[in-house]
Amino acid sequence: MGRILIDLLRFNRQFAVGLVLLAIVLGFALLSFFSPYPPNDSFVVPPDVPPSWAYPMGTTSRGQDLFWLLTFSIRNTLLFGVTVALISRLLALVIGLVAGYCGGLVDRALMSINDTFIVIPLFPILVLFYFVMKDHMSWGLLALMMACLGWAYDARLIRSVALSLRTREFTETGIFSGMSMRQILVEEHLPYVLPIVFSTTMNNINWSIGLEVTLSVLGFTDINTPTIGVLIYWANQHTALVAGIWWWIFFPVLLVILAFIGLFLLAVSMNEYIDPRSRLGRSGG
């Protein structure tokens, strides 16, 4: 794995650029630990100051230093994306591997659940969820909800690989060596699907960040936890653009776009490496 990463860095421009972008965003998020103000305090600095040496990204109409506020917001947003991705990867892995391995009825049952999740419309469900939970709505709950909605497509991908692994003879050798199903799935099959999991993780983080921002901007989330979406929500509430406070919108959007591009490039470059066909071509078959 370490070797692969080094190779990717050396030979793949996309990967290198993606990594640098992500490092910038991540470094920015880490700065939040050094913030002089807690994230939810307002009127700690003069409001509506344009970007300057004292306030590199300006201040908001609520008297917050946008630079430091943004460090918290991007941290929460990234954390949200990663949490959703991790939980949904876990679901996708377990369901995909089990369906592929067991085949038959189990496979059919799991895959029909899977297909239901693929076709149900996400946005209305999430909005509905918000209206049901209302005051109990929290960051964690939303993450869990989105994870439950975000595994289906990748589970199908993993299942198709697992199906073919099931037909390989080494799986039979494992069975006749007395290995349990769990052992075979975790020790024999998992290494084959991990690459898929890595690359879909990036896409999934992107997807969940995008959805979270959309929902937040519209006010369908917990608006007391600062995220990029919530930040833009407040900017809209104060009609920032109309008032000419463009930096309140510009910097959050810029940051989230950087994160998007970084993650996207990583996903694409890893995908290219992982696709068995391109790898076969490289080794010359």
Partner 1 sequence: MSEPVLTVSGLRAWYRTSAYGVSREVRAVDDISLSIAAGEIYGLAGESSSGKTTLIKTIANAIQPPLEVLAGSVVFRFGDRPVDIHRISREALGKIRWKHLSYIMQGSMNVLNPVRRVRHTFFDFAFRHIGRPKPEFLQVVRDHLQRLHLAPDVLDAFPHQLSGGMRQRVTIALATVCRPEFIIADEPTTALDVVVQKGVLAMIHEIQRELGSSIIFVTHDMAVHANLTDRLGIMYAGRLVEEGRTADIFRAPRHPYTAHLIASLPRLGDTAPKKGLDGAPPNLADPPPGCRFHPRCPRASDICRREAPPMAELSPGHRAACFHPEPERPA
Partner 2 sequence: MSALLEVEDVSRVYRTGGLFAARRVTAVDGVSLQLEAGRPEILTVVGESGSGKTTLARMILGMVPPSTGAIRFKGKDLADIRGSRARLAFMKEVQPVFQNPFEAFNPMKRLDRYLFATARRMAGVEGEAAIRDAADGALKEVGLSLAEVRGRYPHELSGGQLQRVAIARALISKPALLVADEPVSMIDASLRASIVNLLRGLRERRGVSIIYITHDLATAYYVSDRILIMRHGKVVESGEARAVLDDPQHPYSQLLKSSVLSPEVPPTGAAFHA
Instruction: Tell me whether residue 46 or residue 281 sits nearer to partner 1 (CB atom).
Output: 281
161 contact, one of partner 2, partner 1, none, CB 5-8 Å limit per kind: partner 1
Minimum Å distance from CB 96 to partner 1?
Answer: 14
Q: How far is CA 278 from the centre of its chain?
A: 26
Residues 197 and 89: beta-carbon distance below 8 Å = yes
Instruction: Tell me whether residue 10 or residue 277 sits nearer to partner 1 (CB atom).
Output: 277
**Chain positions contacting partner 1, by CB under 8 A:** 160-161, 164, 167-168, 276-277, 280-281, 283-285
112 contact, one of partner 2, partner 1, none, CB 5-8 Å limit per kind: none
Instruction: Tell me whether residue 43 or residue 170 sits nearer to partner 2 (CB atom).
Output: 170
**Chain positions contacting partner 2, by CB under 8 A:** 168-170, 172-180, 183, 187-188, 191-192
CA atoms within 13 A on the CB side of 247: 19
Minimum Å distance from CB 28 to partner 2?
Answer: 38
Minimum Å distance from CB 178 to partner 2?
Answer: 3
Rounded Cα gap, residues 281 and 240, in angstroms: 53
Instruction: Tell me whether residue 154 or residue 188 sits nearer to partner 2 (CB atom).
Output: 188
**DSSP structure class, residue 189:** I
174 contact, one of partner 1, partner 2, none, CB 5-8 Å limit per kind: partner 2
Instruction: Tell me whether residue 52 or residue 173 sits nearer to partner 1 (CB atom).
Output: 173
36 contact, one of partner 1, partner 2, none, CB 5-8 Å limit per kind: none
Residues 8 and 270: beta-carbon distance below 8 Å = yes
Q: Which of 19, 15, 18, 20 is nearest to 269 (CA)?
A: 15
